[in-house]
Structure 1
Amino acid sequence: MDAKGLLTGLPWWVKWVAIPVIAIVVFGGLIASLVGFLVGLLFKVLLFVALVGGVIYLVRRFTSASSSSRGDW
């Protein structure tokens, strides 16, 4: 008996309400921790990109300002 044969005689609310609710109760902590990990990882990646971009901007700004104000060395 396959999975579809197992669920054929059951009412619709068992398939579409009871089984998903049981899955969320059983695996809810795992799902929440995975979502939290992914959101945290995305935040850290975006923070890293912003900080690297800021450093590159500052280095280019100060090196161009210092090279234009050197005069005739």
Structure 2
Amino acid sequence: MRAIFAGLPWWVKWIAVPAIALIVFGGLIATVVGFVIGLLFKLLIFVALVGGLIYIVRKFMAGSSSRGDW
């Protein structure tokens, strides 16, 4: 691979080739990044909901046990 880029100017290696890669694979990259961000957001929502449920259940159980048995 180095032999291909050996005689080319620096701007071809560092500007033109990455720009062409972004143009060609830009949609794929955006799809993957969007999927990962969406997955992380759903994971965050899941953790928040489970944490809230555990908090509510513990608070309810502590409150019901202090009132005594009916």
TM-score bracket for the superposition, by shorter chain length: over 0.9
* Percent pairwise identity: 63
* TM superposition outliers: structure 1 runs of 4+ over 2 Å: none
Structure 1 residue ranges without an equivalent (≥5): none
RMSD (Å) for aligned C-alpha atoms: 1.0
Shift of 1:27: 0.3
What amino acid maps onto 1:22 in structure 2? I
Structure 2 residue ranges without an equivalent (≥5): none
Shift of 1:70: 1.8
Q: TM-score, normalised by structure 2?
A: 0.95
* Distance of 1:65 and 1:13 partners within structure 2: 69
Q: TM-score, normalised by structure 1?
A: 0.92
What amino acid maps onto 1:34 in structure 2? V
